[in-house]
Amino acid sequence: MSLAGKRILLVIAGGIAAYKSLDLIRRLRERGASVRPIMTRGAQEFVTPLAVGALSASHVYTELFSREDEQDVGHIRLARECDLVLVAPATADLMAKMANGLADDLASTVLLATDRPVLIAPAMNPKMWAHPATQRNFAVLQRDGIQAIGPMEGEMAESGERGRGRMAEPLDIVARVEDLLSGPKPLSGMKAIVTSGPTHEPIDPVRYIANRSSGKQGHAIAAALARLGADVTLVSGPVTIADPMGVKTLHVERADEMRDAVLSALPADIAVMVAAVADWRVATSAEQKIKKQPGEAPPPLELTENPDILKTVGHHAQRPRLVVGFAAETENVEENGKGKLERKGADLIVANDVSPETGIMGGDRNRVKLITRDGVEGWPDLSKEEVAERLALWIATQIGGTGA
Ligand code: CTP
């Protein structure tokens, strides 16, 4: 892909990762983009405007109240005369300003004044990233439609600490920029529904039945479909991971709520049911907390079957053109997968072995088999992101969307 003719306004904030921005500028320009840099005061402590100016072959903008800068383009034009505003690195401080609409220097003013898409690449100490204030600000930015890449897990340049906080690699940032600025995508104009995570089935107001699903695989699939241009509704059970970018996420707890949310999102072209829906719920969950009764036997739990969401969608009058289910198995993966394909009215079952020794449930990797009426295709051990990426491409090929 190329970025020929694309204009990137690059905001460099003050963090050690600013040194990577030099490489980022090179990579963007190699692909034909022009780069206009803005540096915060902090950024100039880490890399010099001279280096940034030389690599970008552009004037470097640093001051809000500079007669020279203002006469040149002015901050409002600076904010608008671009195809994308890229903030790399995005520090905790700049993110806090953006989330709250502060505008006390050139970078924050431009970010408030722009009407262009904004992509941030956060980078900071892992403790700063994990701090509730930063997480709150990040959530606000996501709600405001700001795109983000990273931060990544890894070792910090300055302290050797490990954790999430490293800026995404320049090439990955460039790939994301290309993605954001490219034209129609293979799933443009398609609607997809994805379920993800576990469900919680209440026993009483404080207790519930659940399972070990983390939502990582389903969320990654929702994000991958969105990256291919699909309009994605993600129906998520209770998970601790963030809502994916570029996706409409509906949060539910119980299987019946998940079914209602899925049905309300119909019609759709694609359904990918990844959630580990509890097969059973407690027949009548107690209104009040069940108390221990001294000397009495523990209360029996009478279970009743939950709606099968995949099966409902697979046999629905508004059945999506492509219905994909997952099969979490601990034995006879292929056989059971084939059975599910038929029973649930799916076009594809992605079967994975979730025996405890595989570490798949809750883990970061997955080894799956694709089971269709035409046969079985085994994929190698991959990260859940890679499985998502490949599956989204598989879906795009099957459904032959517009703009492919
Ligand atoms: N599924 C669903 N609603 C349910 C149960 C399962 O939508 N109530 C979907 C899952 O999202 C998954 C597929 O069905 O895509 C397979 O789920 P799994 O629990 O592995 O299969 P079951 O139908 O429960 O079969 P079994 O109990 O034999 O494993």
Report the alpha-carbon distance of residue 69 to residue 245 in Å, rounded: 34
* 276 bridge partner residues: 198
Residue with tokens 């606000």: 140
The predicted model scores a pTM of 0.66
**CA-wise closest residue to 15 among 123, 132, 127:** 123
Report the alpha-carbon distance of residue 78 to residue 57 in Å, rounded: 16
pLDDT of amino acid 41: 97
Q: Which residues line ligand 1 (CB under 6 A)?
A: 195, 255, 273-275, 277, 279, 306, 308-310, 325-328, 340
Tell me the residue length of the chain: 404
Measured from the CA of 279, which atom of ligand 1 is nearest?
A: 8
Structure tokens at 318: 């508004």
Q: Write the residue with the smallest CA distance to atom 8 of ligand 1.
A: 308
pLDDT of amino acid 403: 41
Q: What is the largest CA-CA distance in the chain?
A: 85
Its sign, for the CA torsion 193, 198, 204, 205, is negative
Q: Ligand 1 centroid to 381 CA: how many Å?
A: 22
**CA-wise closest residue to 59 among 87, 37, 33:** 37
End-to-end Cα, the chain, rounded Å: 14
Residue 257 has a CB neighbour count (10 Å cut-off) of 16
Report the alpha-carbon distance of residue 259 to residue 265 in Å, rounded: 10
Q: What is the DSSP string of 295-330?
A: TSPPPP--EEEPP-HHHHHHT-TT--SEEEEEEEES
Residue 395 dihedral angles phi and psi, to the nearest 5°:
-60, -45
Report the alpha-carbon distance of residue 369 to residue 349 in Å, rounded: 8
Measured from the CA of 305, which atom of ligand 1 is nearest?
A: 8
Domains and CATH numbers, the chain: 7-180 (3.40.50.1950), 191-399 (3.40.50.10300)
Return per-residue pLDDT of the chain as tens, 404 residues: 589 999 999 999 999 999 999 999 999 999 999 999 999 999 999 999 999 999 999 999 998 887 666 666 688 889 999 999 999 999 999 999 999 999 999 999 999 999 999 999 999 999 999 999 999 999 999 988 899 999 998 877 667 778 899 999 999 999 899 988 987 789 999 999 999 999 999 999 999 999 999 999 999 999 999 989 999 999 999 999 988 877 999 999 999 999 999 999 999 999 999 999 999 999 999 999 999 889 999 999 999 999 999 999 999 999 999 999 999 887 888 888 889 999 999 999 999 877 777 777 777 888 999 999 999 999 999 999 999 999 999 999 999 754 43
pLDDT of amino acid 400: 77
Helix axis angle, 92-100 to 106-113, nearest 10°? 40
Answer yes or no: are the C-beta atoms of 348 and 376 closer than 8 Å: no
Residue with tokens 């697979």: 314
Half-sphere exposure of 289 toward its Cβ, with a 13 Å CA cutoff? Answer: 4
Q: Write the residue with the smallest CA distance to atom 21 of ligand 1.
A: 327
Give the single-character DSSP code of 203. S
Q: Write the residue with the smallest CA distance to atom 9 of ligand 1.
A: 310
